[in-house]
Amino acid sequence: MTRESIIIAPPRADRVATTMAFIRPAERSAAGEDKEGRFAPLFALSYPLVSNLLMKQHRIGKLASFALFGLVALPLGVRGDEVAALKTPLVTAANGMVVAQEAMAARIGVDVLKNGGNAIDAAVAVGFAMAVTYPRAGNVGGGGFMVIHLAGGDDTVIDYRETAPAAINATSFLDAQGNADPQKSRESALAIGVPGTVAGLAMAEAKYGSGHFTLAELIGPAIALARDGITVADDTADSLPVDRARLARWPSAAAIFLKADGSALSPGDKLVQPDLANTLAAIAKGGPRAFYEGPVAEKLAAAVQAAGGVMTADDLKDYRAIERKPVRGTYRGYDIISMPPPSSGGVALIEMLNILEGYDLARAERAQALFLMVETMKRAYADRAWFLGDPDRVQVPVARLTSKSYAADWRATIDPAHATPAGEIHAGGTVDREGRNTTHFSVIDQFGNAVSNTYTINFSYGVGLVAAGTGVLLNNELDDFAAKANAPNAYGLLGDVANAPAPGKRPLSSMTPTIVLKDGKPFLVTGSPGGSFIINIVLQVVSNVIDRGMDIAGAVSAPRVHDQWMPDRVLAEPTLSSDLVTALQARGDTVQVRPLITSANSILVTPAGITGAADPRTRGALAAGY
Ligand code: DON
């Protein structure tokens, strides 16, 4: 299928005009600069020791923050040509493991495994627990994706992405002049998608749980933690002050997360969530329908409407999680199992791996390997912007985009010595001169099952609105639609008709929960938060393990780069050696050095056992096994 033959493609002349519009300097810098506030949610997902400084960059300045980061990171060890930032410990276990962003939830998952549960049981328990213990991203008010490998050999995915309420349409997120209105798609109750997490976790448990536990038993620990309260610590302590003002807009959220004087709960304070405990107890008693129908659903809809949104009780009643076939690829003999549309993650990941497979990255000079990776990223993200959307609404050419021959065509457009300007790259395989918060956890059990789960409410603490009487913190996921063709979303991502808002439609995601198999058995389980960064972060973890032979702690800790085609620049973590930055610049790339806010909590199976690594970039994550 050619780019023009999919049903959504406009004529070629429009494409050229569109592409030229992409690269108008004003737009380019606006889409790329955090000063516009578009990347604020990414900065809010913080590096442990520098996050507060970064959030106060108007006072201290970005450079000073990076310098401090360098001071912190530099003594921690050098690996070859890169400075290894805050290298995380390698955790080894014989039987099973959970690596999650919040330690209490990770331990709950390991307890389930120890008591004979399988990886799916554990993942469901972790998913509900993190709705309580990691309110910044863990959720029942958002959605996500679960990739499952079953010991018998089958692979499947559960799509529990939020949907647009029936009253959302192509003009919902435009202002009176017809321009994209970020206030509507990011900060208002209009941005709230119908939550999918409860349906998704319940579907996973009903279909693939071991049968040793009831859903109620798996929700039990979460209910207790919500009712008894937890001590504010780690990343929650770091992020609450950052998002204080957004939460303060809604009294129902302020009552939970802020003190009487309006300041955020501090480290050591108790976070008690009795309404959330009641909502979880209702689900434990009545199953997922108790969330989507009856008193909980009515309160959710009433709260969204009172805040100016359009979600109704019928939207909730109509919500369904969907089991889909994973998108599959191969990379140097390993099988890649990842998330199909409505995520762009799996398709773009496999497309990039296919392109890179044509190069001997293991032997290539590091600078050259990095350059080729960046060129690959630009091409896959151009395809993402053009082709991808909800597969139930638009035709997505998955087979073509993930084929080896398509990758070979793209590879032929890469000049090994010179960076291709983004404006010359066109979705569909040609180069010419025309032209905030998510969380990932990984689980492996003693039986050979594996789960890779990424779920989100989009920004940290979602839209900030807790539906009164439910304790449910709601998402602002609908900003992941292209509010208008080629208007960047909060992550600077562009989209077109394929990802236009429409009733009941799922907004395109970048979440990339992935399982890599070796000889049909789980080898690597990985994924990450980070908005547009996610796909490239997963790519680099996979390549670090397979091409560079790193252990999982090294693969997760190693400095990362990111290029999303538009804006036309490479982001490089401050821990990447300046020699590598210079090498990219010498080939023609514009490089901006800054933290990439991501957290790839991953597991690697080795002959010595199950090894896990919690990403050191965000405080509080834990790799726990037994
Ligand atoms: O689904 C997506 O691609 C985004 N809503 C994910 C947002 C995210 O990762 C924020 N975390 N930094």
Provide the token pair at 33.
Answer: 């600069």
pLDDT digits (tens, 9 = 90+) for 220-246: 999 999 999 999 999 999 999 999 999
* Residue 45 near ligand 1, beta carbon < 6 Å: yes
Atom of ligand 1 nearest to the CA of 44: 12
Hey, which of 161, 438, 474, 494 would you mutate to test ligand 1's pocket, going by the most ligand atoms within 8 Å of its Cβ? 438
Q: Of 420, 438, 454, 575, which residue is the catalytic one?
A: 438
> Which residue bears the tokens 């790259």?
425
What's the pLDDT band for 78 if we cut at 50, 70, 90?
very low
CA of 364 to the centre of ligand 1 (A): 32
Is residue 457 within 8 Å of 470, Cβ to Cβ?
Answer: no
Atom of ligand 1 nearest to the CA of 42: 12
CA of 510 to the centre of ligand 1 (A): 7
Residues paired with residue 431 on neighbouring β-strands, in sequence order? 425
Q: Whose CA is nearest to atom 6 of ligand 1?
A: 531
Neighbours of 13 (CB within 10 A): 8
Atom of ligand 1 nearest to the CA of 533: 9
Q: What pLDDT is attached to residue 112?
A: 98
Q: What pLDDT is attached to residue 50?
A: 31
Q: Is the pLDDT of residue 7 over 90?
A: no
Reply yes or no on whether 438 is catalytic: yes
Atom of ligand 1 nearest to the CA of 532: 3
pLDDT digits (tens, 9 = 90+) for 556-609: 999 999 999 999 999 999 999 999 999 999 999 999 999 998 999 999 999 999
Is residue 104 within 8 Å of 133, Cβ to Cβ?
Answer: yes
pLDDT digits (tens, 9 = 90+) for 412-428: 999 999 999 999 999 99
Name 407's Cβ contacts closer than 8 Å, sequence gap at least 6. 351, 354, 355, 357, 358
Hey, which of 381, 458, 478, 494 would you mutate to test ligand 1's pocket, going by the most ligand atoms within 8 Å of its Cβ? 458
Mean pLDDT of 198-209: 98
Q: What pLDDT is attached to residue 36?
A: 30
ω into residue 342 within 30 of 0, thus cis?
A: yes
What's the pLDDT band for 6 if we cut at 50, 70, 90?
very low
CA of 508 to the centre of ligand 1 (A): 10
Q: Is 542 exposed, middle or buried (0-12, 13-18, 19+ CB in 10 A)?
A: buried
Hey, which of 51, 161, 388, 456 would you mutate to test ligand 1's pocket, going by the most ligand atoms within 8 Å of its Cβ? 456
CA of 579 to the centre of ligand 1 (A): 31
Atom of ligand 1 nearest to the CA of 477: 5
pTM: 0.88
Measured at the alpha carbon of residue 584, what is the angle toward residues 580 and 600, in degrees to the nearest 5? 65
pLDDT digits (tens, 9 = 90+) for 36-74: 333 333 333 333 323 332 333 333 333 333 333 333 333
What's the pLDDT band for 431 if we cut at 50, 70, 90?
confident
Q: Nearest-CA neighbor of 476 among 174, 38, 183, 236?
A: 183
Name 432's Cβ contacts closer than 8 Å, sequence gap at least 6. 424, 426
* Residue 329 near ligand 1, beta carbon < 6 Å: no
* Residue 135 near ligand 1, beta carbon < 6 Å: no
Q: What pLDDT is attached to residue 430?
A: 82
Is residue 90 within 8 Å of 418, Cβ to Cβ?
Answer: no
* Residue 531 near ligand 1, beta carbon < 6 Å: yes
CA distance 115 to 113: 5
